[in-house]
Amino acid sequence: MNKLNRLNFSGGPGALPESVLQQAQEAIIEVPGMGLSVLGISHRSDWFAAVISELEANIRTLLGLPNDYHVLLLQGGATQQFSMLPMTLLRGKAHPADYLHTGYWSGKSLPEARREGPVHLAWSGEAGGFRRLPSDDELSFSAQAPYLHYVSNETVEGLQFHRVLGRDDVPRICDMSSDFLSRPCAAERFSFIYAHAQKNIGPAGVTVILIRDELLKEAPTDLPGFLDYRMQIEAHSNYNTPPVFAIYVVLLVTRWLLNEIGGVVQMGAINRSKAELLYHLLDDSDGFYRGRAEAQDRSLMNVAFNLDSPERESQFLAEAQAAGFSGLAGHRAIGGLRASIYNALTLSAVEELAGFMDDFRRRQAAC
């Protein structure tokens, strides 16, 4: 694989496994056994129906998903879910839904929900600059809430919940866009999980949604068809022309997870070793590298950190780029530096980054 792809630490779209890129390249010319380009195969073909059903089965296997869940593949990204969810579950409700404001992306979900119905802000990390997540004793959730919404991994700030939140008698809804299939997630404890593909499991253009059947029993029937989960379920994610290529690549990623990695438990262990390597390096740098998040809430996917000045951060980025690393600039909303170490980033790529960071620190200390 070329070095730039292997050392792509971008926050999103993220890197994809080399074997997946090779199969995707091949499929653009001809899908094995089909004689047609994946870009020109009908979404009404038997081949595509088989892609959808294998992808759905792979996700069920990877997460041990119970049978009363639907697996949906929709367009519009995670952002469309910020609206589609409250349209379906919050319109006309008297009791507010519980929302957590833990960073940039959960912040984007709030105004969209407020447009549709009452929202109760159960916790906000804004005053603290989103450097930590709430502990259980800071949280109290309403038994009357139509649902609880939170983001499992705040991609921008590098904060990740390492436990499941909320009450068992209120539907849990989670945006797992940046940590889906990166570790086991106790899917059966959530009524609704959504994750766009482009951070961890594929290219942009498709969002995976897991919905427990029961959640939709009182859903309105007057929504536009495209925005009606029940119509999408009935159409097997083929309501209108779906992004066939993006869905095919997500299928290839799930095959890679099952056959090359061995599942989400194994993926989680690999991801933990990658993150520990970088966090140890930050912690052992005598304050040269400053981790953004408090230790207990650090993300295993996005390692956000700073240097002592913006000038030194620019120098870091320039030297990293010259050494073949890409995507290390922090999100434009907060700046700083961020190494995103999604599933496709190998331990050896992370070791190379750690080597570069160690070397950069020593060279800065010497001058």
Ligand X SMILES: *Cc1c(COP(=O)(O)O)cnc(C)c1O
Residues designated catalytic: 105, 175, 199
Neighbours of 177 (CB within 10 A): 27
Distance, in Å, from the CA atom of 43 to the CA atom of 62, rounded to the nearest integer, reads 25
Helix-, strand-, coil-residue percentages of the chain, each rounded to 5: 40, 15, 45
Nearer to ligand X, 105 or 360 (CB): 105
Distance, in Å, from the CA atom of 263 to the CA atom of 18, rounded to the nearest integer, reads 18
Minimal CB distance to ligand X: which residue? Answer: 77
Contact of 108 with 249, CB cutoff 8 Å: no
Nearer to ligand X, 5 or 79 (CB): 79
Taking Cα atoms as reference points, which of 171, 124, 165 lies closest to residue 145?
Answer: 171
CB of 300 to ligand X, least distance (A): 14
CB of 200 to ligand X, least distance (A): 9
> How many residues appear in the chain?
367
CB of 223 to ligand X, least distance (A): 19
State CA 53 to chain mean position distance.
22
Residues that bind ligand X (CB under 6 A): 12, 77-79, 105, 151, 155, 175, 177-178, 196, 199
Contact of 191 with 212, CB cutoff 8 Å: yes
Contact of 171 with 95, CB cutoff 8 Å: no
CB of 197 to ligand X, least distance (A): 8
Cα three-residue angle 278-340-63, rounded to 5 degrees = 100
Distance, in Å, from the CA atom of 179 to the CA atom of 181, rounded to the nearest integer, reads 6
Contact of 11 with 340, CB cutoff 8 Å: yes
CB of 179 to ligand X, least distance (A): 8
Nearer to ligand X, 203 or 268 (CB): 203
Nearer to ligand X, 193 or 357 (CB): 193
Nearer to ligand X, 41 or 304 (CB): 304
Peptide bond into 13 cis (omega under 30): yes
